Chains A and B, each alone.
Chain A
Amino acid sequence: MPSGQELIQKVKQQIREIEPTDLHSALHANGADDEVVVVDVREQDEWDAGHIPGALHVPRSHLESRIEQVVPDRSKRVVLYCASGNRSALAARTLEQDLGYERVESLRGGITLWKDRGYEVQVPRRLTPEQRERYSRHIIIPEVGLEGQMKLLDSKVLLLGAGGLGSPAALYLAAAGVGTLGIVDNDVVDRSNLQRQVAHAEERLGMPKVDSAEIAVKQINPDVKVEKYPVRLGPDNILDIISGYDVVVDGLDNFPTRYLLNDASVRLGIPVVSASILAFEGQLSVFAPGRGPCYRCLYPTPPPPELAPSCGAAGVLGVLPGVMGLLQSVEVIKLIVGIGEPLIGRLLLYDALAASFTELKVRRDPDCPICSRDPASISAEEMGKFPDYEAFCAGVA
């Protein structure tokens, strides 16, 4: 019987090996029409320590059972590698002789020689042990998992308002591990806010809401980066503030700014999770540019001021913004992780007294003055304007 070493040497004569230089050229060839699939056959901990960029991972112990899921086309050019080129040689023989793959090569010298040649190695991002513990209930849901948690940690979410809707959203999105939370609010904490604005506290009366919300966020999850904007959103600053964010959470208290936000978000292609509340009732929808209607498709023009009371004037059940702000947060997470059916093209009405939800269809307006156009053509001057804008704003003032 041959020794193990003799067997490996014999197998290497039966398969084809590829030099690291040749693999590197093949991967970086411009317009290569013959795509190379690189498969790492090492164990999980070896993969985690660093692998060839773009490689797929099928440990040799699972090769026969998993390779067809990863490389279903047996005519594809496949390059296998391991640490030094022995396991991949054995795996190459299995693929060719037993499984009928037609063009298999084994990387000579494995990733060790690849690294010695100075070629790039990608180290997969990993959660710290503290993060694994913190987010464990997300990670064990298959729909979120480690990948979804990474997306959350990489995400940037902007909250417009740190009030009734923004407070619960800030707390739960921070807890969920959203990497960056931007908060726009130019108000200070007032005692009458505390009936519903749970990010604030009695001891922080008089403090700017962005600072108070930051304290609450950091108490839950110190990893979250908080970007504070203690300003009023206006035509002069909106593009600068919202650009770079993945999702905007709209809890604005007035129509002119809602139209302004709509137009700016359509121009920049940023989805807006929008909610509004009054008394015992709330509305919720997701306006995702390119994927569904915009706010103007739903409401081409705002109601006159006497039909648009604010919560300050009309009152609101304190728990209601909690419900609606958390429904917004759920939609934010769905958009970031890419799961479920986002509330795009649908409007959800919640009636707290009736304990009922009603869903209405929202159609894209083919003649919408904003979202039917090339986004780049939306000028700064026209953003936020609507018919009778001047009269409306005079009426509000």
Chain B
Amino acid sequence: MPKIKIPPVLRNATSGEREVNVEGTNVREVLEALASRHPATREQLFSAEGELNRYVNVYLNDEDVRVLQGLDTPVASDDTVVILPAMAGGSR
């Protein structure tokens, strides 16, 4: 089953879960499965039109899915999907 790594800013939406294993054969199905299980993640991941929000980067293993086939990128059962929003924490 593919694994999704949840970034710190989304963990409130996943009841604190850091990694979620979900069914799915492409990136869209995997993220949809996450959104079904944890509905609060949906609006943070997807725009109203159902596309990935621009401020969320999604990687299949180490590659940005935008340079692959986007949400249609095939996902194998041993793949890891990494969700990566920008962070700005630093100096203060």
A: residues with CB less than 8 A from B are 160-166, 185, 187, 193, 250-255, 258, 275-281, 283, 298-304, 307-312, 314, 316, 321, 347, 349, 353-354, 358-363, 387
Alpha-carbon gap, A310 to B64, bound state (A): 25
- Find out whether the CB atom of A307 lies under 8 angstroms from the CB atom of B90: no
- Find out whether the CB atom of B8 lies under 8 angstroms from the CB atom of A310: no
Interchain CB contact (< 8 A) of B91 among A252, A280, A298: A252
Alpha-carbon gap, A308 to B8, bound state (A): 10
Among A161, A278, A353, A362, find the residue whose CB has the most chain B CB atoms closer than 10 A.
Answer: A278
A282 shortest CB reach to chain B, Å: 8
Which residues of A have CB within 8 Å of B44?
307
- Find out whether the CB atom of B90 lies under 8 angstroms from the CB atom of A161: yes
Alpha-carbon gap, A353 to B11, bound state (A): 14
Alpha-carbon gap, A387 to B55, bound state (A): 11
- Find out whether the CB atom of A252 lies under 8 angstroms from the CB atom of B63: no
- Find out whether the CB atom of B92 lies under 8 angstroms from the CB atom of A278: no
Near A by CB (< 8 A), chain B positions 1-50 give 5, 7-9, 18, 44
- Find out whether the CB atom of B8 lies under 8 angstroms from the CB atom of A251: no
B88 shortest CB reach to chain A, Å: 5
Interchain CB contact (< 8 A) of A253 among B57, B64, B86, B92: B92
CB-CB under 8 A for A308 and B64, given A283-B87, A299-B86: no
Alpha-carbon gap, A340 to B63, bound state (A): 23
Which residues of A have CB within 8 Å of B54?
300-301, 387
- Find out whether the CB atom of B82 lies under 8 angstroms from the CB atom of A358: yes
CB-CB under 8 A for A255 and B88, given A302-B55, A307-B55: yes
CB-CB under 8 A for A253 and B90, given A300-B54, A363-B64: yes
- Find out whether the CB atom of A307 lies under 8 angstroms from the CB atom of B64: no
Q: Which residue of B lies closest to A192 (CB)?
A: B92
- Find out whether the CB atom of B7 lies under 8 angstroms from the CB atom of A281: yes
Alpha-carbon gap, A301 to B7, bound state (A): 17
CB-CB under 8 A for A310 and B92, given A278-B9, A283-B87, A360-B82: yes
- Find out whether the CB atom of A363 lies under 8 angstroms from the CB atom of B92: no
Q: Which residue of B lies closest to A277 (CB)?
A: B89
- Find out whether the CB atom of A303 lies under 8 angstroms from the CB atom of B82: no
Answer whether residue B74 sits at the interface, using C-beta atoms and an 8 A cutoff. no
Among A255, A283, A307, A321, find the residue whose CB has the most chain B CB atoms closer than 10 A.
Answer: A307
Which residues of B have CB within 8 Å of A185?
91
Which residues of A have CB within 8 Å of B18?
353-354
B56 shortest CB reach to chain A, Å: 8
Alpha-carbon gap, A187 to B90, bound state (A): 13
- Find out whether the CB atom of B88 lies under 8 angstroms from the CB atom of A276: yes
Which residues of A have CB within 8 Å of B71?
none
B34 shortest CB reach to chain A, Å: 16
- Find out whether the CB atom of A316 lies under 8 angstroms from the CB atom of B86: no
* Shortest beta-carbon contacts, A-B, top 6: A161-B91, A163-B91, A251-B90, A276-B87, A299-B86, A303-B55
Q: Which residue of B lies closest to A187 (CB)?
A: B92
- Find out whether the CB atom of A303 lies under 8 angstroms from the CB atom of B85: yes
Interchain CB contact (< 8 A) of A360 among B55, B56, B84, B87: B84
Which residues of B have CB within 8 Å of A254?
88
Alpha-carbon gap, A258 to B89, bound state (A): 11
List, sorted by A's number, 22 A–B pairs whose CB atoms are closer than 8 Å.
A163-B90, A164-B91, A165-B91, A251-B90, A251-B91, A253-B90, A253-B91, A277-B87, A278-B87, A278-B89, A298-B57, A302-B88, A303-B56, A307-B55, A307-B85, A308-B88, A311-B90, A314-B89, A316-B89, A353-B18, A360-B64, A363-B64
Near A by CB (< 8 A), chain B positions 52-92 give 53-57, 59, 62-64, 67, 82, 84-92
A164 shortest CB reach to chain B, Å: 6
B19 shortest CB reach to chain A, Å: 9
Q: Which residue of A lies closest to B7 (CB)?
A: A281
Interchain CB contact (< 8 A) of B63 among A258, A300, A361: A361
Alpha-carbon gap, A164 to B86, bound state (A): 18
- Find out whether the CB atom of A303 lies under 8 angstroms from the CB atom of B86: yes
Which residues of B have CB within 8 Å of A308?
9, 85-88
Which residues of B have CB within 8 Å of A193?
92
Which residues of A have CB within 8 Å of B55?
299-304, 307
